Structure 1
């Protein structure tokens, strides 16, 4: 009898592999955003002002999506040694998606005033490139601009 329970326990344990170990979720059954993306450029448009940032120079940012959450991390490439250009940004939270639209619910951010806001984006994936476009509005900070980001999928 002990052998039967032991075998049942082993079978149950072995069938509970977690996503990300050695198992990949087929994209057609999961979020098309799933994975790690490196930010290449970002454009903000406010009124008649347009600012484009090249995220491949002196800094790096990645954005990670799993089935239910996203996170982003950005830092300078000087490892904080240049005090005039030290950058560290981190945030994340839940997200939902439908077809070519997704909504970020920003639960965590090192700039706390941005927390507890939601941001709606349209997205397009072409090959290994993700382009997002949406309005970021944080009334308390008087932030209201269009945000366009171009990201490249990070390969394993």
Structure 2
């Protein structure tokens, strides 16, 4: 009988030492948030782009261009280069914030004055090596009011 009571006590003790899988410590939440933030950092190549404006949908033809986005801890930059020519090159960049899946780009460096220093709020999602960015681009002064969906693959 003593062995049975000791066995039951050992089982109860072991169960009480296990952490409830639904509970997280503050340190784990910070680590998880940091890991989420770090996932967007890197170099990304656009593989799909869709623009919805009013009642039309335009899918970007990426067969003749390369579009790259680079994201570090505090800034992003993007570059578009037509294949085989210097024509059509453009780029831009600035700072960004990421809070969960809320990603806001502040476009500080760009050749179009009307969109310089504008903030563009997006949602982001990462699935495997794919970054999906979507949201509304709206700049009244530039006549921009459209929804976008962009899919990037991580450049290794």
User: TM-score range with shorter-chain normalisation?
Assistant: 0.7 to 0.9
SS in structure 2 of the partner of residue 54 of structure 1: coil
Q: Distance in 2 between matches of 1:130 and 1:115?
A: 24
User: What value does the CA root-mean-square deviation take over the aligned residues?
Assistant: 1.4
Q: How far apart are residue 100 of structure 1 and its match?
A: 1.1
Structure 1 position 30, deviation (Å): 4.4
Are the aligned partners of 1:72 and 1:91 in contact in 2 as well (CA < 8 Å)?
yes
Say whether the 8 Å CA contact 1:135–1:145 is kept in structure 2: yes
CA contact (8 A) 1:62 1:72 kept: yes
1:54 alignment partner in structure 2: 61
Could you give the per-residue CA deviations for residues 51-93 of structure 1, whole angstroms, max 9, x where no partner exists? 00032x111010000000000011111122xxxxx21111000
Q: Which runs of 4+ in 1 moved over 6 A?
A: none
User: Is the 2:37–2:98 Cα contact (8 Å) retained in structure 1?
Assistant: no
Return the alpha-carbon distance in structure 2 between the equivalents of residues 71 and 40 of structure 1. 17
Q: Which runs of 5+ in 2 are unaligned?
A: 1-33
| 1:28 maps onto 2:35 in alignment | yes
Structure 1 equivalent of residue 19 of structure 2: none
The structure with more radius of gyration: 2
2:123 — aligned with what? 122
Query: Whole-Å Cα distance in 2 between the matches of residues 112 and 148 of structure 1?
Result: 24
Aligned residues: 123
The whole-number CA distance in structure 1 between the counterparts of 2:148 and 2:36 is 28
Q: CA deviation at 1:29?
A: 7.4
